[in-house]
Amino acid sequence: MPNPQHRVTPVSLPPESGIARAYASPNLADAYSIELPPGALTDPVLLARFIFSHQPPWISTLTAIRDALVGRFGLKTAKQLTSLGAESKRGRLSIFKIYGTSSTEVVLGEDDKHLDFRLSVLCSKQPSPGGKRHLTLSTVVPVAAPANLAPDILMGRRFSDFVKVQGQSIPLPEGLWTVLAHFRDSAGGRNRGDAVVMGRIDGHKLNGMIAVNAMQSSAGVSSAPFEACNRPDYVFRKVDTYDAQGEQRCWWINHAVAVWQNQPVFQAAQLELARLGVSAPQVMINVGIRRADATGFATTFYYFDPADDAIASASASWAESEWHRSRIDNDPSRRAYVQKLQRWGESWASIYFASR
């Protein structure tokens, strides 16, 4: 059984740490401390090497996902940073650059296009009155963004009732919705817009998810053809109006069997859920709604978990899924579930189309 005296505890950033003064305006600062057992070594560099060479497998998994996401944007990956350390043989510890050392602390970090950060491994200089020493790991990240990119005002925030995504108002079902991922179209590409994934989190469970792709333009834009409005193989589809280059209002019901692998924004959301310790279903049903006109577009997917209605979903491809249109009538409980979502979608679509 774990020793309760050696549990990791969140603490304030130690004022004696070198990173406490590293940045004038840190955007993130956190620290965690643990009591060292009697007789433990107190060399901060050796302690840091031990920590980063004995990490649980899930950290490697999350790092691999992170590398797959950021590598395509030209950001440094763990593999590249490890290679730097192997080549230099000095000045680096694990994947991190060493920025400073003392008898009690080693300061690590890295600078990259999207952000800089500093990491401290600090061993208390003197034992506490009880003869105990503590090891504290701290991280600071400064407020930083490219000159042409405003700070992210959505990531990590909670919303209720509605959220604005690139100027488009998106209605939210009841509850608090946390932004899990936000990819911005900083280049202003036509018909690309911002992508946002939000989750309604209850303890360690994901009780609903919303994915939004939206763009608004004051200059006026022409719509682009949108496939979902005309998919005959969806379990349900309704088109109010559809002009491939003009006004579009449609909604549909579809099943998602590999949502976490589909796009980088979902992979980023999965990474954030894992960080929060939140479990997520692999098969979900979504009600998708699309509105578009000369002022821009907003496409939103509202995801539901059939397991909440005690309906299990086997792992299968999209075409072979028991939720596919060609099979849905084989199971009365699945058909009734889709009909329930259809009633919800009919009401919600009218709210969605009226929102601006």
pLDDT digits (tens, 9 = 90+) for 137-174: 998 887 544 443 344 567 778 898 899 998 899 999 99
| Phi-psi map region of 74: left, alpha, beta (phi>0 left; psi -120 to 50 alpha) | left
Q: And the tokens for 347?
A: 């009401």
pTM to 2 decimal places: 0.60
Q: What is the 3-state secondary structure (H, E, C) of 322-350?
A: CCCCCCHHHCHHHHHHHHHHHHHHHHHHH
Residue 81 has pLDDT above 50, yes or no: yes
Average pLDDT of 233-237? Answer: 94
CA distances from 101 to 14, 109, 119 (A): 16, 12, 12
Q: How far is CA 1 from the centre of its chain?
A: 33
pLDDT (0 to 100) of residue 147: 40
Q: Decide: helix, strand or coil at residue 110.
A: strand
pLDDT band at residue 132 under the 50/70/90 scheme? confident
In degrees and rounded to multiples of 5, residue 23 shows phi and psi of -135, 145
Q: And the tokens for 215?
A: 């763009």
pLDDT (0 to 100) of residue 56: 79
Residue 341 has pLDDT above 90, yes or no: yes
Where is average pLDDT lowest: 12-16, 111-115, 205-209, 264-268?
111-115
Q: Decide: helix, strand or coil at residue 21.
A: helix
Q: Decide: helix, strand or coil at residue 266.
A: helix
Mean pLDDT of the chain: 82
Q: Decide: helix, strand or coil at residue 50.
A: helix
How far, in Å, CA of 343 to CA of 120, rounded? Answer: 54
In degrees and rounded to multiples of 5, residue 257 shows phi and psi of -110, -10
How far, in Å, CA of 297 to CA of 32, rounded? Answer: 44
Q: And the tokens for 328?
A: 């849905």
Residues 6+ away with beta carbon under 8 Å from 311:
333, 334, 337
Residue 129 has pLDDT above 70, yes or no: no
Where is average pLDDT lowest: 66-75, 128-137, 203-212, 284-293?
66-75
How far, in Å, CA of 200 to CA of 208, rounded? Answer: 5
pLDDT band at residue 324 under the 50/70/90 scheme? very high
Asked if 156 contacts 82 with a C-beta cutoff of 8 angstroms, the reply is no
**Which of 106, 135, 115 has its CA nearest to residue 41?**
135
